A and B are shown apart, each in its own frame.
Chain A
């Protein structure tokens, strides 16, 4: 079993749609959680950190369920510019070991 697994994708959605990505992790000792966005042939960039209480940043909402070892990302009112690959990233207690999921590709269609 991979340490971090994500929806295989790709997701093709129309503009304005709401889309949800799921991620599960196997290491129960994990302490930090992130969603990164990666555009084609570019470096990953932080979209948002994920906190235990859940957090929201504009159209983006992230949730963490430690008991189920599950992380989610919700994108509301999708824009064409949201088209990218979304990476789930899990870190250890020491801020040194980061494990990446394989990513889920999103295409927002006009």
Chain B
């Protein structure tokens, strides 16, 4: 049982380049999330999707776009990467029911030069 699979694990970009982070879950979860984690700041929500076909902004959405391709997959796109987007990115999923926990992917270490 793979859980939440996130790719790539590492990526280095130059300022202005674009890329897409992929995330898939095999737990039939309704809700999926993208977080970024910076030193001393904890995890901050970028975007989330409560169900297939819906997406909503989180705390720090600027510079990002997302696509909920189907129930399993939720991708995060950086159209024009900036050094401020250097961070560790985590995808997560949840059943969407009250008191249900989050399951995380293994993370993507992104550096923008």
Q: Is there an interface contact between A96 and B94, defined as CB atoms closer than 8 Å?
A: yes
* A residues near B41, Cβ cutoff 8 Å: 102
User: Which single residue of chain B is at the shortest CB-CB distance from A46?
Assistant: B101
Q: Is there an interface contact between B31 and A96, defined as CB atoms closer than 8 Å?
A: yes
* B residues near A100, Cβ cutoff 8 Å: 35, 42-44
A31 on the interface (CB 8 Å rule)?
Answer: yes
Number of chain B residues whose Cβ lies closer than 8 Å to a Cβ of chain A = 27
B residues with CB within 8 A of A: 31, 33, 35, 40-45, 48, 50, 88, 90, 94-102, 104-107, 109
- Determine which of A43, A95, A102 lies in contact with B94 in the assembled complex, contact meaning CB atoms within 8 Å: A95
A residues with CB within 8 A of B: 31-32, 34, 41-46, 49, 87, 89, 91, 93-98, 100-103
* A residues near B98, Cβ cutoff 8 Å: 31-32, 91, 93-95
Q: Is there an interface contact between A95 and B106, defined as CB atoms closer than 8 Å?
A: no
Count A-B pairs with CB separation below 8 Å: 62
Having A44-B90, A87-B43, one finds 14 other A-B pairs with CB under 8 Å, namely A32-B98, A42-B107, A43-B90, A43-B104, A44-B43, A49-B101, A87-B42, A91-B98, A95-B96, A100-B42, A100-B43, A100-B44, A102-B40, A103-B42
Q: How far is the CB of A105 from chain B (nearest CB, A)?
A: 11
Q: Is there an interface contact between B99 and A31, defined as CB atoms closer than 8 Å?
A: yes
Known: A43-B104, A102-B41. Contact between A96 and B50, CB under 8 A? Answer: yes
* B residues near A95, Cβ cutoff 8 Å: 31, 94-100
